[in-house]
Amino acid sequence: MANERATRRAESVAAPLALAATYRREVAASLARVWENVHDWEHLPWLHATSFAAAEPLARGPRGWRVRLIAQPGDPASAQVIELDADEPGHRYRVVTREGPGRGSEIRVQLEPRAAHVTGVEVEFHVPAVPPAKLARLGASYVELYRRLWDEDEEMMIARERACALVSTEAVPHEDRRLDLGPVAAVRARVPFLVELGGRPFRVLELDGDLVAHAATCPHRLGPLGQAPVRDGCVTCPWHGYRFDVRTGASADGRRLRLATAPQVSLEGGRVVLHRAP
């Protein structure tokens, strides 16, 4: 990938590019969390589902990745091959379109750590030379797209930072192993809802007439499952698309991850009780 990248970098230098627009903002996330997000191609068709329909990895290396990306509404004929080249010591990276619509364009991003959980972002959109009127339209469309993408990324990064902080507190053992949820009728009227047991969040819901509980955090990158819809007995992480059977916690997509062990749901004297395994 390194030799191929060097060749393509030389090609991009030779190609005349014009600055279409510049987008600046701050995100409420640490520089480390932003870099994690930049290297994470897998979230593109899930977190950004309104913009992208599919992403297929083609190559990976220490400085980035190359991905075949299909924009919405999902026409394979309009697929792009995009490549990330990250310079972490320099707090900058480029995303270059190698094939498909926009071929030759470069997104150049400069990052600036401003506080523990604040990072400045400056994005330049460079495209092959076009007439000024078209250049302005391209710039406006790029800015609108990246405003939406960074809004969605920021929300995920904030949630992940919070989830990581909660996980770090689990070094302190929690003794609670039993939780009385109340009378059966009242519980059925409330579902679905979230509870915490043993320091971990779980969702209680009704599935095919049974009350069940499942872990409300994805084991991949701590994605939120507490509001994710249940379809065919499975829940899908909105960040990266990992899918799990809510009854067993087992992987339903072949990627071999599984949910944290859920508490057992039992009926005791007309009341619903959760029991966490020792």
Between 167 and 4, the more confident residue is: 167
What percent of the chain has a predicted confidence (pLDDT) above 90?
86
Q: How many helices (H) and strands (E) does the chain have?
A: 5, 16
Domain ranges of the chain: 2-168, 178-275
pLDDT in the model for residue 173:
52
137-160 residues labelled b (16+ CB within 10 A) or e (exposed): ebbeebbeebeebbebbbebbeeb
pLDDT for 15 beyond 70: no
Query: What tokens does 254 get?
Result: 């072949």
Tell me the pTM: 0.88
Question: Residue 12: its pLDDT value, please?
Answer: 45
For residues 256 and 91, the model is more confident at 91
Using alpha carbons, select from 251, 63, 266, 33 the residue that is nearest to residue 158.
33
Residue 84, amino acid: L
Helices (H), the chain: 2-14, 31-39, 44-47, 132-168, 184-190
pLDDT of residue 47: 98
Cis peptide bond upstream of 45, omega within 30: no
Angstrom distance (rounded) from CA 36 to CA 38? 6
- Label residue 199 by pLDDT band (50, 70, 90): confident
Whole-number pLDDT of residue 58: 98
175 compared with 11, residue with greater pLDDT: 175
Please indicate whether the domains covering 2-168 and 178-275 agree at the CATH topology level. Answer: no
Alpha carbon 75 to chain centroid, angstroms: 22
To the nearest whole number, what is the mean pLDDT of the chain? 92
User: What is the helix (H) or strand (E) element at residue 56, kind and residue range?
Assistant: strand 52-61
Q: Which residue has the higher pLDDT, 278 or 209?
A: 209
* Distance from C-alpha of 60 to C-alpha of 97, rounded to nearest angstrom: 16
pLDDT band for position 168 (50/70/90)?
low
Task: Look up tokens 């009227």; give the residue.
Answer: 189
Q: Which amino acid, residue 161?
A: E
Looking at the domain covering 2-168, what would its CATH class be?
Answer: alpha beta
For the domain with range 178-275, which CATH number is right: 1.10.760.10, 3.40.50.1970, 3.90.280.10, 2.102.10.10?
A: 2.102.10.10
How far apart are the C-alpha atoms of 259 and 154, rounded to whole Å?
25
Residues 6 or more apart whose Cβ sits within 8 Å of residue 73: 53
**Mapping DSSP to helix (H, G, I), strand (E, B) and coil, where does residue 220 land?**
coil
Of 153, 210, 118, which Cα lies nearest the Cα of 39? Answer: 153
Residue 3 has pLDDT above 70, yes or no: no
CA atoms within 13 A on the CB side of 90: 10
Instruction: Tell me the per-residue pLDDT of 84-138, one tens digit each, with 9 for 90 and over.
Output: 999 999 999 999 999 999 999 999 999 999 999 999 999 999 999 999 999 999 9
In Å, the largest CA–CA distance within the chain is: 77
